[in-house]
């Protein structure tokens, strides 16, 4: 039985990170310039927060969010409809052996940050934080 190249606990390789960032940067530029000939897509100002690539670099998942987070589903539909043209435009500006298949997902990082901020501002959490800052710190001195 062949061994897996990456264990389930290991993260992406340096090459995956480097290629993902290159794709993110290139895709951001293509979208910002409005190179795709689709007025529905060009009406959105889309942020590409992160791109994760598969270990073989043949699939790139872009985590995107339209400015302000409004109409995210419509932006996702427009991106998926123009996936082939976006792949061609991105690959034209990069020097990879293969143009990766592009997949798009809504970037929920900002939602998680807002939820984390909300949790930390909750008075019960603040009380628990204050409680853990007190007696244990005095014992360490």
Percent of the chain residues past pLDDT 90, beyond the cut: 56
**What is the tens place of the pLDDT at every residue in 73-84?**
999 999 999 999
Predicted local distance difference test score (pLDDT) of residue 111: 59
Question: Which residue has 């034209």 as its token pair?
Answer: 92
Is pLDDT above 50 for 7? Answer: no
Pick the closest to residue 21 from 67, 53, 55, 58 (CA basis): 53
Q: With bands split at pLDDT 50, 70 and 90, how would you rate the model's confidence at 55?
A: very high
Q: Are 90 and 79 in contact (CB under 8 A)?
A: no
What pLDDT, on the 0 to 100 scale, is given for residue 106?
Answer: 93
C-alpha angle 89-72-56 in degrees, rounded to nearest 5: 45
Sort 118 into a burial class: Cβ within 10 Å, 0-12 / 13-18 / 19+.
Answer: exposed
Q: What is the mean pLDDT of the chain?
A: 83
pLDDT in tens, 8-33: 557 889 999 999 999 999 999 999 99
The structure tokens 């979208």 sit at: 31
CATH, domain 14-107, list 3.30.300.20, 3.30.70.1400, 3.20.190.10, 3.60.110.10: 3.30.300.20
DSSP E strand stretches across the chain: 46-53, 59-66, 101-106
Q: In this predicted structure, what is the pLDDT of residue 1?
A: 43
Confidence of residue 62 (pLDDT cuts 50, 70, 90): very high
Local structure of 46: helix, strand or coil: strand
pLDDT beyond 70 at 46: yes
What pLDDT is attached to residue 51? 96
């Amino acid at each position: 039985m062949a061994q897996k190249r990456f264990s389930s606990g290991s993260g992406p390789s340096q090459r995956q990170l480097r290629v993902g960032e290159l794709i993110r940067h290139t895709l951001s530029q293509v979208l910002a310039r409005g190179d795709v000939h689709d007025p529905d897509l060009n009406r959105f100002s889309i942020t590409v927060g992160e791109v994760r690539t598969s270990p073989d670099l043949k699939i790139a998942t872009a985590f995107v969010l339209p400015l302000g987070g409004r109409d995210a589903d419509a932006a996702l539909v427009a991106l998926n409809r123009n996936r082939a043209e976006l792949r061609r435009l991105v690959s034209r500006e990069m020097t990879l052996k293969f143009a990766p298949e592009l997949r798009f997902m809504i970037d929920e990082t900002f939602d998680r940050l807002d939820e984390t901020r909300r949790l930390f501002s909750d008075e019960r959490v603040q009380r628990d934080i204050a409680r853990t800052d007190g007696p244990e710190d005095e014992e360490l001195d």
